[in-house]
Amino acid sequence: MIYFSSQIRVIRHYDFEPSDIECICIEIDNHTSKIFLCCVYRPPNSDSGFWTKLAWCVDKMSEKSDKIILVGDINVDLLTTPQTHIIHEIIATHNLVNNIHEPTRITHTSSTLLDPILTSVDIQVRESGTLVMDSSVSDHRATYLSLSSNINYKRSYKRKVWAYKRADFVKLNSLIENCDWNKNINEAQTVDIATENFTSEYLACVRECIPEQTVTIRPRDKPWFDSLLRKTMRTRNRLHKKAHKTKKDSDFAAYKEVRNSANNMKKYAISNYYDNIDTALDDSNKNNNKLYWK
């Protein structure tokens, strides 16, 4: 099982996963290169066929990228396994290095490194190690790895918002007042059902009175950057491209006019943003908690 942030672009490669071994292969896109991550588990009594299939999996990833990460419980002690073992052949063939150098399973009679993190030499590793786990969760120590990466975590996305300026609050109050809350809440058999009934009924009233609209959220935008400034800057860029293509004085003049307008709008937006911050932090405006903490 692999968990990843929803802000990271990840593609699962089922075609890299042999059907009869436990592994998951994903591709992480960082816009400049691709990192392939394979999480694998090898049962203790697996035959040699497991290693052949794992080697094939790593071969497939190597064909797509020179940056590979292999993690999981392979049930082979890398502290004592001889260099003739096939795992060392896989490591050498694909220029991998092991980033875990201490035992991951410790008992009264043994200390073994069964959970390596193998990475390509081209991957910049910042930190790696093990973490002690609660024995009720696992008898292995957890392993971790921190990477230096230029992955763009902040992608634009769309979401629905309420258009409160066009809301009919008189109608909303009337609907809420006339709703049969006793039936929806008090007669529910459990608190979970009561919560679901309340939420469903309340949102039905809200949607009838407050319009919804879809907006684009751009986390990379500066807090003072708005849609009007974005539109003006896009116009500036188009005119700049046109002027350099046509070489006409009139096109250069049009470009410079919009460029100056965009620069002035940007300066005003920045100044206005920080003026509002000063106002929010002023003692006389502390009652506006939303603006204060924004």
pLDDT at 23: 94
pLDDT at 152: 58
Q: Record the pTM.
A: 0.55
From CA 219, how far away is CA 154, in angstroms rounded? 6
The tokens of 149 are what?
């990466």
pLDDT at 293: 56
Question: Which residues, 6+ apart, have CB-to-CB distance to 49 below 8 Å?
Answer: none
Cβ(38)–Cβ(59) under 8 Å? no
pLDDT in tens, 84-126: 999 999 999 999 999 999 999 999 999 999 999 999 998 889 9
What's the CATH class of domain 10-147?
alpha beta
Torsion of CA 39, 44, 50, 56, to 10 degrees: 30
Question: Which residues, 6+ apart, have CB-to-CB distance to 189 below 8 Å?
Answer: none
The tokens of 184 are what?
């929806």
The tokens of 56 are what?
């094939």
State mean pLDDT over 171-177: 93
Strands annotated E in 134-284: 142-147, 157-162, 212-217
From CA 101, how far away is CA 145, in angstroms rounded? 12
The tokens of 120 are what?
């390509």
- Cross-strand pairs, 147: 125
